[in-house]
Structures are given as C-alpha cells and as structure tokens.
Structure 1
Amino acid sequence: MNRIVPALLLAGALACGPLDRHETAPSGDHAHQTIAHTCYTADMEFFLEHPPLIAGEKARFIVHCTRLSDYSPIASGCMTLTLGGETVKSTKPVDEGIYELEIAAPKAGLLELDLAWQAGELLQRIHAHVEVYEDHKQLHAEPFSPAGHRDPADHDSEKADADHAHQNTPFQNPESSGTGDIIFHKEQAWKTDFMVSRAETAPFAAVIRTTGELMPSPGEIKRQTAPARGMIEFADPELVQGAYVNAGKHLFTIRSGKLPGDNLELRLQQAENRLTKSRSDYLRHQELLKAGATSKKAFLASQSTYRADSLLYSDLGKDTGPGGMKIFAENSGSIHLLNVSNGSFVETGQALLTISSDQKLLLRADLPQPQAHFGKEIQTANFRPAYAEEAWSMEDFNGKHLSTGHSVAENEHYLPVYFVLENDGRLMEGAFTEVYLIGRTLDSALLVPNTALLEEQGNFYVYVQKGGESYEKRAVDIGPGDGRETVIKTGLTKGERFVSRGCMLLKAASTVRTAVGDGHTH
C-alpha cells in the first residue's frame, strides 16, 4: 500500500516522538500482506490491521480506536480479542488510541472474531468472521484476497448492565487503497484539527444571501450633553472613541473662566448667596409664625423659596467647584461617538458623547426588493461578520427576528430586516456582515458543513473516507447554503463518511507520495 504523508505533518510528528515504522512488502508476497478493516459502533471507529491468519501461528492485531464525537484517540480502557474460542486481553493501549494483541488461531476455516473495548460500564463491541489458512502452502497457493471477511457483523454500543438492542451493520470488508486514494494516518488525524462525519439528511430552509450591519440597540445607547457653556477639558487624555468607561467615571471638566453671562463659578456664588438669604428669611418667618407676628401664607412662601434655592445650589454645587463643572459617565459601556475634542468650546445642550452598553445589538439585513415576498417567511438568520472566519446563528446569541420593513426609504434599494442579539463579547458594533436570511423549511436534504467543501476553480469537492486511513477526493454538485451548511445534490450519498474538518490537511497530503509498506509496526 502506498502511503501519502504531508511533509510538514511528518516533521511535526517526529518532533513530538517517533512515528510508526512502515515496511514495504515485495509485490505478491502474501506473507507480508496486511489486511485492514474499518468498522463502527454508534460511538467509536475501530481500524484493525493484521497479517493473513495461519492456524497455530501467532498473529499481531493492531487496533486504532477513535471516538467519533470529536475524532480523538481512546486513552484508556481494556481491549479483549476472541478468535475461534481463544481469548487475549490488553488492559491499556500501547500508545494513545492504539492497542496491540497477539493471538494464534486454533484451527483453519472461517472463525468467529469478537473485539470488545470496555471502560467502566461503557462497552463497545464488534463481531465478524475471518478466514484462517491451514498453512503457508495454502496461503501461497490461493490468489491473495481478503474475501474471507465477508459475513455481516453486529455492532453495538451498550452499558454493561443495560439491555440494548444490537445495531446490525455490515462489517466493513478488508480494504486496500486504490492508486488515487490519499493516506492519512490515524496518528496524524488525532494530532490535528481533523474530523470525519457521517452524511445524513436533515430539514433545510430556503435561504437568501445578502449583506447587513451590526448596529447599537436604541435602548442601549445614551447621549450626554453639556449642562453649561465653556471650554472642555478631558479628565483622561486617553479618552477616545471605542474606549470602555464605567458609570460614574470623570470624563470632562467644563471651565467657564471669565466668560460673561454664563460663568459657572459666578452662578455658583450667586446660588449660594440666594440660598443664604432664603434660609435666613425662612428661619425668621418660622419664629414670627410661632409668635403670631406673621401670616401662614408669608411663612409658606419663604419656605418654598428656601427649598427651591437649596435644590438649585445642590444641583450646581455637587459637580461644580473652583475648577469648573465635572461631567461624569451616566452609564457603563463603550464610547460609541465622541463629539468634542480637548480644549474645544461647547454651548449648553451640545452633544458631548454617546455611550453604548453593547449588551444588545441590532443586526440589520438588507433584503433586495425583488425578494420582498420572502420577507413574510423570514424566521431566523445566520451571519458572518467581516472579521469572523465562520458564520454564526441567531441561537448562538439568543437572538430573534424583530421586524421586516414594508417600505423603501429614499435613495435606498433594500427592505430593512432587523434582529436583536445578546452580545457575549464577540460582536463588534458597526461591523459589516454577510447575512443568510432563513425562511420556511424545505424537504430533507443531504447537508455538509462548509468546512468540508474544497473549492478549486469554481468546482467543489469533498474527501470521502474509503477505509480507516484512506480517503478519496470526490467532485460534488452543491445546492443552496445557509452560511454554515450546504446542500449536496450529487456526489455524496447518505451514510457515507466524509472529512468534515481538516480537508486542507488532505489536500497537502495529496501532493506528497511516499512509497512505504502496509500496516503499522510499533
């Protein structure tokens, strides 16, 4: 078997530890041929390699165990191999994901093989029938073929103490790689971002691809204005647009200096003088009322004046001092817009800055007018900001569809579609996005994640797993997509296993061919 090893991955593996050695067998030498099988339970993939089996002679079985949920190697557990009534056991893998067991077939013929892996109560088991030759003479007399492994097998994934029905799936016939197949060893797959998935059909919704923008939610932004006229002085020289501020942070100081008509210090002094006078009048009327020397109406008038002057002085005095009036952040968030610069002059009521909490954002998608009829069918959306490598769904941000516009603004060519999202820190206000508007659900379709697709000159391909370590590059005809998954029209069938993550690793592997032997020698 020719093995194809990417040069970069080979160098990386050697740096981490010695790779398996692969020995080349002379063509037609049956004794050095390796028989390989790939079989599955619901949770695991077993990739077995062994030489042709001779009655009474020990044969080494190498079993690679991969967890299907994340395509990682099994690190522990006990492996039991039973062949024709003879049993051997390995209490732990010789290396992560790899078990080695030696066993001698008790007799020739078609024997039952049972392989079981167990860790605690979790049990994974496969059954098969394998052919055992009487001697080397019989092996060499017959054309080499692994056809002896042709009976169906039961695959089951079960708890040791639970009663599970067996999943009857044909045991994969012993495999050999074609000349065009790409070999990617388990050890390489386990050490890289690699994943193999089973092609399945699922409901798919109609999708319109368009553009959009992440915008601040109206309830999440606050604009602060100048309460007085004067010169702006920044409290923090590093206060810039995009900076995060906490509620109560000192942002600016407004200094009136010697400005006529609206001098803050003068206004504060005047308010203090009025408060002193009104307090004196109030206390005097209070004593006169007790003595019956004034009317209650006059007393209440002095009391009202005193309270008004007290509020005015308190309002001016809490933030105003000899240095001017201090402006504090009214809420926590990022500075969405900074309207002033250090040293600039502001009038009363002029906008100083806008603070956005960024806890919730709006996604505005632009629905083209020719697809206006689709607006009533929109249920959700996937979107990919310009800075992200993959699309995200509404569910990722607890988002929901708010509204779809029914009119087009002047000089606009699109209907606005709005969604609200909870920001977990990944969303960037103002970012432009690619949006996939999702409508009604269609019939079931064969779907693959976009990470499984390889595009070359406008054509699309997927890598289909032919055996445990062999893959075939196959052209596919694609249909619509939602930014995360794409419909496959032809080229891939339900039940086939394909590379769903790491296809670029196989593309690199296909460019380097190394002539090495079949099987793994540890």
Structure 2
Amino acid sequence: MIFIVEKDTLKDSFLIENIQIYKDLKSIKISEDETPNQISYLKEQAWKTDFKVELVQKILFTSIIKTSGQILSAPGDEIIITATASGQVRFVKNNLLQGISVAKGARLFEIETSDLTDGNLETKYNEAKANNEKAKADLQRADLLVKDKIISDKDYLVTKNAYKQSEINLKTYSKNTRNGKKNIYSQLDGFIKKIYIHNGDYVSTGQQLASISKNKTLILQADLSSQFYSKLNKVIGANFKTIGNDNTYDIKDFNGKIVSYAKSSDALTFYTPIYFELTNNGELVTGSFAEIFLKTKEETQQVVIPMTALTEESGKFFVYVQIGGESFLKKEVELGDNDGINIVVLQGLSEGERVVTRGAIQVKMAAASTAIPHGHEH
C-alpha cells in the first residue's frame, strides 16, 4: 500500500508492504503474541485520575476476628455535672447547647431555691453567716479565758475547731451562691456532650444536669463473641470503621493500644469486651458505633492486596492486572479474610503480577466504553 503526501510544492510517498486484508471482523484471528480481552488504558488517562499499580506479593497476614463495638469517652476524660441544690434551674447563656466548648470554671447553670422552704439557699447562707459570727466571738472569748487558765486547753481546742468549721460552711454557701441562687460551674476544659434538663426545669440535689467531655482520649470497645474467648489473649491490635464513614483506620493511627479486657462474658449478651485506648485527632466522635477487625498473633504467608483493587459484578469480584505499559486484563479472584484495609486472594492472582490498586473503576469504565468520559474542565 502506498501513501502519497503533498503540501505546496513538496511531495512524498510511503510504501507499506505485507498488509493483510480481512473481509470482516470475524475473519480476524488473534495472533499468539496478542492477549484476548485486553483493555487499553492510556497513561494520559491515568495521569488525570488517582491511579496506582502495585506488585502482588505474599506477606504475613494476621488472622482476623470480625466484630462490632463503640467509641466511648475514657474514664476521667468525661464528667457529669450535677445539681448541688434543689430548685428551678436556669441556663446562664442562651447558646448553651450540645457541642459548644466550655472552659474550666465557666458558669453554666444557676439554681433558684428561694421558693423552696427546705432548700432556701439565702436562708442557709444567712444561718451559716450567723453561726460563723457567733463562733468567732466564742473563740475571741476563749482566747482570753485560756490565758487565765479559766478553761482547759481541751475546751479551747473544741471552740477553735468549731470556728474553723463555721468558716468552711460559710465559704461553701458564699462561693457558689449569688442572690439566693446556686451557681454550677464546669469542672474541666472540654465541650458539652449532653444536656439532660431543660431551661426552667425543677431539679433535685444530685440530679444530672449535663456531661462534659475533653474528647482527647477515647476508648474503642470491641465486643468479642464467646466462641472466640480462647483467642482473647492473642489479640494484638485492631482496624476499625465507624458507621457512616468510608475510612478504615488502624488503631496505630491514633497511638492506640490495648488497655484491658474482661475476664468473663456478659451474662445476657455472651460478649466479652476488649478495650483499646486512642488519642483523638478530631476525626472520632464519642458514641459512634464501629465495625472492628481484631488482629491476632496468628500469621500466615498469603497473597494480599488492598481492598481498593476490587470491583464487583453480580456478586463476583475482579481485579485489573497490568500486562503491558498501557494494557490491562480483567481477572476474577476468589477472596479470603480481610482486615478492612487489605484482603487475602485465594485464587486468581499470582505473586509478581502487577495489579491496579487505585483507579480500578476507571479501568472498568474503559473496558466498557473503550474510553474514559471527559470530566468538566476549565
């Protein structure tokens, strides 16, 4: 076949020999050097997407126990604010809502007790003040009497201690009382996790008003089924995924460690809790439920790939293997255990093959349409 190229006064020709002509597509036979079902995915396409190819290797993979659990506040990292008097509670600020930050010592609530006979703070404060003044006068008198040996040292100490106790009582009522109202303060820096009452409610002494959490140290509680109790002491770590979040984390991402586990299962649920301590970086929320992958000491050599390499069709799983610079092959795989991040491949992949671990969906689209649809560009 001869191609003739002409432009202005220039003219050239190209001769291409040994071209085989077919009458239709069915007549074309695939040569031994070509691979059937080959997918073309150009480097230019890969550069425009989050794309990565990795070498398939056998690595040590820990045995996984799948379970569920919850993220909790660490003991000491959360406190409950309670009413220190009975009466009608008022919010100090209108924006006192769940999630707002509070400083240690910040005034949160006040309790009005003036209309409650048994808990009238103003009355109690006045009584404490009167008792303190009387105790002070008694001590001044005792100072003179003990010098003249009119009273014994023992009686003097009784009078002195009574005065000290009256001072403590007076400070107790005056410190947190203002105009007959009991003030309730935050006892730590943190945020309001929950408010248990409404503005204007009547509360009793000891009733819960709010909870405050630092949200810095968290506990991941994993509930282990009793059937795995024998493996409890073999648990060395965990991956977890909170409900509604696509990210799967390793506890190491939060400086996590096992802090304890129960020595018996719950009589009702038959689950044994395992506790991991986490340092929160702001991504985790207390109360969140989680899917948990417990890692054990048991390890075996396995072909392992990231779970991002998988695509699913009608309940079957596939990966895309690179067979050339811009050529890929779709392969069905049989899967084994996973830890939420990586997964064991039992059949379908061999060590040394190169598999698409990021961008597999794009290659799948290329296989279906022979081209990636153009996105919106500026």
TM-score after normalising by structure 1:
0.62
Q: Is the 8 A contact 2:120 2:180 kept in 1?
A: no
Q: Is the 8 A contact 2:113 2:180 kept in 1?
A: no
Q: How far apart are residue 421 of structure 1 and its match?
A: 1.8
Confirm whether residue 236 of structure 1 aligns to residue 93 of structure 2.
yes
Letter in 2 for 1:382: N
**Which shows bigger deviation, 260-269 or 186-195?**
186-195
The match for 1:253 among 110, 129, 134 is 110
The match for 1:389 among 246, 249, 258 is 246
What residue is the counterpart of 1:371 in the other structure? 228
Confirm whether residue 283 of structure 1 aligns to residue 140 of structure 2.
yes
Change (3 A) 1:141 1:360: same
Change (3 A) 1:483 1:277: same
Rounded Cα–Cα distance in structure 2 between residues aligned with 1:445 and 1:411: 38
What residue is the counterpart of 1:340 in the other structure? 197
Q: How far apart are residue 387 of structure 1 and its match?
A: 2.6
Where 1:511 maps in the other structure, the secondary structure is helix
What residue is the counterpart of 2:52 in the other structure? 195
The match for 2:338 among 468, 477, 481 is 481
Q: How far apart are residue 337 of structure 1 and its match?
A: 3.7
Change (3 A) 1:418 1:508: same
Q: How far apart are residue 307 of structure 1 and its match?
A: 1.5
Letter in 2 for 1:324: K
Confirm whether residue 316 of structure 1 aligns to residue 188 of structure 2.
no
What residue is the counterpart of 1:420 in the other structure? 277
Where 1:463 maps in the other structure, the secondary structure is strand
Rounded Cα–Cα distance in structure 1 between residues aligned with 2:43 and 2:67: 40
Rounded Cα–Cα distance in structure 2 between residues aligned with 1:481 and 1:446: 12
Rounded Cα–Cα distance in structure 2 between residues aligned with 1:177 and 1:301: 105
Q: Is the 8 A contact 1:177 1:470 kept in 2?
A: no
Q: How far apart are residue 238 of structure 1 and its match?
A: 2.7
Rounded Cα–Cα distance in structure 2 between residues aligned with 1:257 and 1:508: 74
What residue is the counterpart of 1:505 in the other structure? 362
Rounded Cα–Cα distance in structure 2 between residues aligned with 1:177 and 1:357: 63
The match for 1:445 among 302, 311, 317 is 302
Rounded Cα–Cα distance in structure 2 between residues aligned with 1:442 and 1:305: 70
What residue is the counterpart of 2:208 in the other structure? 351
Q: Is the 8 A contact 2:53 2:356 kept in 1?
A: yes
Q: Is the 8 A contact 1:207 1:438 kept in 2?
A: yes
Change (3 A) 1:240 1:410: farther
Rounded Cα–Cα distance in structure 1 between residues aligned with 2:159 and 2:227: 71
Higher relative contact order (CA 8 A, sep 6+): 2
Q: How far apart are residue 507 of structure 1 and its match?
A: 2.0
Gaps of 5+ in 1: 1-27, 31-135, 144-175, 516-522
Q: Is the 8 A contact 1:214 1:361 kept in 2?
A: yes
Aligned-pair Cα RMSD in Å: 2.8
Identity %: 34
Gaps of 5+ in 2: 4-13, 21-32, 373-378
What residue is the counterpart of 2:158 in the other structure? 301
Letter in 2 for 1:280: A
Rounded Cα–Cα distance in structure 1 between residues aligned with 2:70 and 2:64: 18
Q: Is the 8 A contact 1:390 1:484 kept in 2?
A: no
Note the alpha carbon deviations across 1:367-392, whole angstroms, 9 max, x for none: 22333333232221111111321311
Note the alpha carbon deviations across 1:70-99, whole angstroms, 9 max, x for none: xxxxxxxxxxxxxxxxxxxxxxxxxxxxxx
TM-score after normalising by structure 2:
0.83
